[in-house]
Each structure stands twice: as structure tokens, then as C-alpha cells.
Amino acid sequence: MMNIAIIDDEPEILENTRKCVENEVTPQDEATLFTYTQAKDFLREKEQGCEFDILVSDIDMPEMGGLELGKRIQEDGGGGKIYLVFLTAYLEYAAESYIIEAYQYILKEDMEKRLPPILRQLIDRVKREKKQFRLIGTPTSKVQVYYRDIIYIEKEKGAKYICYITVHGIYKERISLKKLSGELVSDEFLLVERGYILNVSHVAGMKDGMVQMDNGAKIFVNRISAKKIKEQISLYRGNL
């Protein structure tokens, strides 16, 4: 199952966008559509526990525009991954939308042509991601944790257990980082020194040998690891 949200303050455009999205969704996608005329209503539902996978949002809206909403979502490290697609009638928003790593920026006049193939790519990616998970726990009690929800994994020196830091909490498992790294078959993950495996899709920034994750955690790495992280981010985003 996946949830797709659409936000536009103009009811007519919202309905047109909904139809465009609905025409691309198939029963096999098992997707539920949510529509909102205000960004704050979307945020309220998200904060109440509703998890969204894809958000198609207008940029120019009163009270809270799409770019501000995108920044709020980015700052919320506990909200899970959401793919952002921005719609607007104004070209000047394009450059700024890329700053917050929107998946795509689409002019409304091109929506019927550009949105369906982009949406299909995202739906297929979310479906693949939801098939990638790890069962963590004891043989009699295991928790299913999606790769996409793992922010980073750490093991303190001398500790018997590793810790999965995820968007939904912390989980532990008795396994070496090296062995786990070999089992996490995904271009999202990278083993770095000092006992960490990072999920590059959750890297918010890098500066002066410090990696900041989107949950606010800061991890220090050497120059070689910093270079590998940048290369892995490029590889991961290139495969989106």
C-alpha cells in the first residue's frame, strides 16, 4: 500500500491534478489518493501518523506555499521518506525548488504530458522500496524495518549489538557491521569508518568532515569516507 497526496488551493486545478494522477494509478499499485486545499491540513494529518509516499503540490499557495512545506518535510527526520513533485505556473520557482531536492518541477501547462510518466517512475520505485526490508529481533519476535526508513546504523566499540536508527525508532541486532553491510543489497547504504553504515538518502548535508543526517544527527568522517559518501549520493540519485 502507498499513499499519494495532492495539494492545490484552487479546487478546479486540484480536481484536474487528481484526475491526472488517478488515470496513472492501477489497482495493482494499491495506492490511496488524498487531496488538500491547504498545506497545513496535509501537515496536520501527517503529524497525526498518516504516512505519505508521494506528494504532488502547488508551489504558490497562501499561508504556506509548496517550498516552505517542502522545507518543513525535510526538517522532519521522523516523517519517513516522501518524494516531492512541485507544480506551478511560474518559471522563477524552478531554481529554488531544486534547493530542497524536489524530485521534479513541472509547469502546470505541461502537467498532463509530464506528470504521468514521472508519477509512474515514482510509484514503481516506492513499490520496489517496500519490498526491501530487514527483519530485526529474536527468532520468535521480529520487526519488519524498511530500508528506506533506516537513517543510519551504528555500533559502539566493544558493543555486542548494532543499533538501527530509523524514522520510527531504534532497533537492535546482534551482528557485525561488515556482515550486515554485505546483506544490505541497496545503493542507499555505505559502510564508513568509526562504526557506521549510512543511508545516503537521509544525508541532509556535509561540511568540514561532518555528515548531517536528516534527523539532526551529526557523524564525523575522514576525507576518504567523505569522498565515498558524495560518490554514493550521486550514484543513488542517478538511479532514481
User: What does the pLDDT average to over 157-163?
Assistant: 87
pLDDT score recorded for residue 53? 93
pLDDT score recorded for residue 147? 93
Express each pLDDT in 174-201 by its tens digit: 998 889 988 998 888 998 877 899 998 8
Which residues touch 173 (CB under 8 Å, ≥6 apart)? 136, 137, 161, 162, 164, 180
Show the DSSP H helices in 130-222 as ranges.
177-183
Express each pLDDT in 195-230 by its tens digit: 899 998 888 888 888 999 988 899 998 888 888 888
Cα–Cα distance for residue pair 73/80, rounded to 1 Å: 9
Cα–Cα distance for residue pair 58/117, rounded to 1 Å: 18
180 contacts 135 by C-beta, under 8 angstroms: no
Residue 33 has pLDDT above 90, yes or no: yes
pTM of the model: 0.76
Q: Sorting pLDDT into bands at 50, 70 and 90, what band is 97?
A: very low
Q: What is the largest CA-CA distance in the chain?
A: 60
C-alpha cell at 92: 522563477
At 51 the three-state DSSP class reads: coil
Cα–Cα distance for residue pair 64/73, rounded to 1 Å: 13
